[in-house]
């Protein structure tokens, strides 16, 4: 069974490297987010849907920003979709300050400062992870960051539940996603399995071994 991954706000594949190094025995596909055009979830889902596997069963993982995107795709009932994994994600606006953040100037030098990233994003992760995250932020166009933040600010909880197995990787020290927003995943899925893992918001990067073990077990259960 293939693992298809959708990246977080950065939209690129690079931050998945620590996790995928732990899952080499599982077929993998990363779908990067389009950097041009509309950034609302409906438009992103339409763009991503064309790249999903056609003839093979797969599990879809949405990290942070892409959790709602994975949900939009699941609503389309794509052929071969067997399960969903939400990593440090949500289905409603992630934080009460999301609306404010989408409207204020957000200098990339501030967003990518080491103290801010360690406090809010990666904790005591290895310096290589910090440097990679800094580069990803600095390489993103400011307009793209703002567009995706506006997308987050407009989210609201789903009104119906999807009947498909889902796994929620829930960081215990997440300072970007409120407890209420993380819990909103339960409003979208009737078969949602929670796995709390000690770590910060960038859980796949800071705790790749623990995340990989949980993902591997979930995929094995879907094969039974």
- Reference 5, options 114, 87, 95, 72; nearest CA is 87
Domain spanning 2-223 has what CATH number?
A: 3.40.50.1820
pLDDT of residue 32: 97
- The alpha-helical segments, DSSP class H, found in the chain are 17-20, 41-49, 67-75, 98-103, 108-111, 114-117, 127-139, 142-153, 179-183, 203-206, 208-223
- 160-174 average pLDDT score: 95
Residue range 83-96: mean pLDDT, rounded: 92
Average pLDDT, the chain: 91
Mean pLDDT along residues 208-224: 94
Is 60 exceeded by the pLDDT of residue 105? no
User: What does pTM read for this prediction?
Assistant: 0.93
- Domain range annotation of the chain: 2-223
Distance CA 103, CA 81 (A): 36
Report yes or no: 47 and 34 within 8 Å, Cβ to Cβ. yes
Contacts with 103 (C-beta within 8 Å, 6 or more apart), sequence order: none
Provide the pLDDT for residue 154. 85
**100: pLDDT confidence band, cut at 50, 70 and 90?**
low
DSSP letters along 87-139, please? Answer: ES--SS-S-TTHHHHHHS---HHHHT-HHHHIIIIITT--HHHHHHHHHHHHH
CA 59: distance to chain centroid?
14
pLDDT of 103 reads 58
Q: Bridge partners of 108?
A: none
């Amino acid at each position: 069974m293939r693992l298809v991954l959708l990246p977080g706000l950065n939209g690129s594949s690079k931050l998945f490297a620590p996790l995928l190094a732990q899952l080499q025995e599982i077929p993998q596909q990363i779908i990067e987010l389009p950097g041009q055009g509309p950034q609302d979830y409906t438009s992103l889902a339409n763009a991503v849907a064309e790249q999903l596997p056609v003839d093979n069963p797969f599990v879809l993982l949405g990290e942070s920003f892409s959790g709602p995107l994975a949900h939009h795709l699941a609503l389309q009932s794509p052929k071969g979709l067997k399960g969903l994994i939400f990593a440090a994600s949500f289905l409603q606006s992630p934080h009460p300050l999301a609306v404010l953040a989408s409207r204020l100037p957000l200098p990339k030098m501030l967003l990518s400062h080491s103290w801010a990233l360690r406090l809010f994003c990666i904790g005591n992760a290895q310096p290589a992870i910090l440097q990679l995250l800094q580069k990803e932020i600095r390489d993103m166009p400011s307009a793209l960051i703002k567009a995706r933040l506006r997308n987050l600010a407009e989210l609201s909880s789903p009104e119906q539940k999807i009947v498909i197995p889902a796994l929620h990787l829930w960081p215990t020290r997440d300072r970007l996603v409120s407890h209420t927003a993380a819990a909103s995943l339960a409003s979208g899925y009737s078969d949602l399995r929670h796995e709390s893992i000690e770590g910060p918001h960038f859980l796949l990067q800071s705790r790749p071994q623990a995340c990989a073990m949980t993902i591997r077990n979930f995929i094995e259960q879907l094969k039974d």
